[in-house]
Amino acid sequence: MDDETRAVVDLLITGGTVLTMDAQHHIFSPGAIAVQGGRITAVGPAAVVEARFAGRERIDAPGHAVLPGLVDAYSHAGHGLIKAIHTPRIGWPTNAVYFHATTPEWWEAEAELSALERVRFGVTTGLTVVGATPARADDAAYADAHIRGVLRVGIREMTSIGPPDPFIDHFPRPWTATDWRSGRAVRRSFTHEQCMEVTADVIRRWHRTHDDRIRVCLHPPYLLGRFAKHPRFPYEYGPEDEPVMVRHAEEMRAFADRWRVLIHTHAFRGSLAWGRRAMGDRLWEVLASDVLLAHANGFTADEVEIAARSGCAVVCVPITDENVHYGICPVVDLLAAGVRVAIATDGSAPNMNLNLWKDVHRVMLLQRLDKRDPAVLPVGKALRMVTIDAARAIGWDTEIGSLEVGKQADIITVDLEQPHLVPRKHIPQLLAYYVEGGDVANVVVGGRILMRDRRILTVDARAVITRAEAEAEAAFARFDVSDYLVLPRGFWESTVYPAEAAG
């Protein structure tokens, strides 16, 4: 066909190796994708697609891998502006900064910075808790600002928000937060009920808005308690706590059902076992297919079986301190039991980043070390765990996660014409083992090009970075982080961090 007889579409991406991540695992090389109205109109061999379509815009991708935008199924907002503010001995000042040193402008700048980081790494969708644990749910202004920052860059997000845990304190009681919007510090107390009202307000105003680029879910930090002991969270549950824990879990379920949102929570060894013992068959009403368990470190065989029976999903974070305290997430066992499992970053602090490619490799390596078997967790499955499986974990798989006709056109291309990616004979293994975030060349979300040839098109990247630096410095002027920046004795030569900092 000549140009006059071909249908004209908004965007044509052609010439690369297209990994669809569909149910049949189609790979087209060279392949092409036609996009119209934000959705995929055709995907297949380049010669076939180009014979049918011409593009108003075109991305020529010879030498590139073309695949669905990555889905980071769990991270925390705020972390982007406290990167590396951490020591193994005293931890990091998440909630002290988040609740007492920040403004809505700080949250907006951090969201914009982190979304920019994600685009550069090829992550087109993220589930993000607004804050650490607990979420910043004392006032809707902070979630509002965060979502505005995300929207400006143009990615998709499931914003996670909810009340603090009734027992595991991440800050002193009574709960307080400092409001700087008047230009001076105004400390206010807040309650569980207020947080639930804020959460409902955020859901009502933002859920499934902006062409469904924003979704909201409920975030109770520990839906079924935290029994695996962390040095900074040493709470011991007593018999009198159990009825409160059960009521809390049932309240979260009722809230999620009312607003028809997913429940996102943390779970470690002991949580599911407690739920089964304390709640009996009522557990299956609370722990269902719309529950997403982050971490799952140290799950026992019984807890793997509970997760499988419930239909819930699990998000594995390969590299955090939880590995040290509780053991790793039993990904292979969960998959074998039929559990939906995704791989995620957990955010960009204190010592991680939003480069999801790294975590694909880390998960495979940890599982192989754990099982002492280099054949477990094949590359293809690991790549699905940051694309279609991750989309399925957060309930977004009918729209994103694979390159199929009718789905949203969330597409990335990876430049393989680089020394560390040659020879280009086994592209899935190159992607899983060798690709870095900086190899992503083009990013499209809903048919809109966010990055072309590594250049961000939606925002001024330099201005975003400058603004973020200024907001970070303003927060550090309100909360002194100097104790976290001192280089302790032995920092350069010792085999272990000393207990005290250098004078």
* CATH code of 424's domain: 2.30.40.10
> 5 or 110, which is more confident?
110
Q: Are residues 409 and 372 in the same domain?
A: no
Instruction: Report whether 114 contacts 77 (CB < 8 A).
Output: yes
C-beta separation of 487 from 475 below 8 A:
no
Burial of residue 96 (CB within 10 Å: 0-12, 13-18, 19+) is: middle
Domain residues for the domain of 46 are 7-67+402-456
Establish if 40 belongs to a structural domain.
yes
Please, what is the average pLDDT of the chain? 95
Q: Are residues 329 and 183 in the same domain?
A: yes
CA distance 53 to 65: 21
The verdict on residue 154 lying in a domain is yes
Lowest mean pLDDT of 68-72, 181-185, 485-489, name the range: 485-489
Q: Residues 25, 132: one domain?
A: no
- Dist. CA 477–CA 185, nearest whole Å: 12
Query: Terminal CA-to-CA distance of the chain, rounded, Å?
Result: 76
Work out the percent of the chain whose per-residue pLDDT is above 90: 88
Burial letters 327-341, b for 16+ CB under 10 A, else e: ebbbbbbbbebebbb
Q: How is residue 330 annotated by DSSP?
A: -
DSSP of 43-66, one letter per residue?
EEEHHHHHHHEEEEEEEE-TTEEE
pLDDT band at 422; cut points 50, 70, 90: very high
pLDDT beyond 80 at 336: yes
Return the pLDDT at 3: 60
Task: Provide the Cα torsion 106, 107, 113, 118; round to 10°.
Answer: 170
Mark whether 113 and 59 lie in a shared domain. no
Whether 482 maps to a domain, the answer reads: no
Instruction: Report which of 394, 242, 307 is spatially closest to residue 250, judged by C-alpha positions.
Output: 242
CATH number of the domain that 319 lies in? 3.20.20.140
Is-contact 47 24, C-beta < 8 A? no
If asked whether residues 90 and 227 sit together in one domain, one would say yes
Residue 182 lies in a domain: yes
Residues 45 and 120 in one domain: no
Domain end position, chosen among 420, 436, 456: 456
pTM value is: 0.96
In tens, the pLDDT along 14-46 reads: 999 999 999 999 999 999 999 999 999 999 999
Cα 503 from Cα 486, distance rounded (Å):
9
**Per residue in 77-103, pLDDT tens?**
999 999 999 888 888 899 999 999 999
Would you list the DSSP string of 63-78? TEEEEEPEEEEEEETT
Whole-Å CA distances, 456 to 310, 442, 461, 464 = 42, 9, 7, 11
Which residue is it, tokens 């994103």?
400
Integer Cα distance of 395 and 127 in angstroms = 11
- 206 and 313 both lie in a single domain: yes
Binned at pLDDT 50, 70 and 90, residue 2 comes out as: low
Please check whether residues 426 and 382 belong to one and the same domain.
no
> Same structural domain for residues 381 and 303?
yes
In this structure, the answer to whether residues 223 and 97 fall within a common structural domain is: yes
- Torsion, Cα 272 273 275 277, to 10 degrees, reads 160
Answer positive or negative: Cα dihedral of 39, 56, 456, 120.
positive
Distance CA 83, CA 467 (A): 16
Same domain flag for 76 and 42: no
Q: Give the chain's domain count.
A: 2
* DSSP, res 87: B
Task: Tell me the mean pLDDT in the region 469-493.
Answer: 92
Same domain, 339 and 350: yes
386 is a domain residue: yes
Residue 464 located in a structural domain:
no
The size of the chain, in residues, is 503
Four-point Cα dihedral 247, 249, 254, 260, nearest 10? 170
In a domain, 423, yes or no: yes
Among the candidates 393, 418, 441, a domain finishes at: 393
Residue 193, domain member (yes or no)? yes
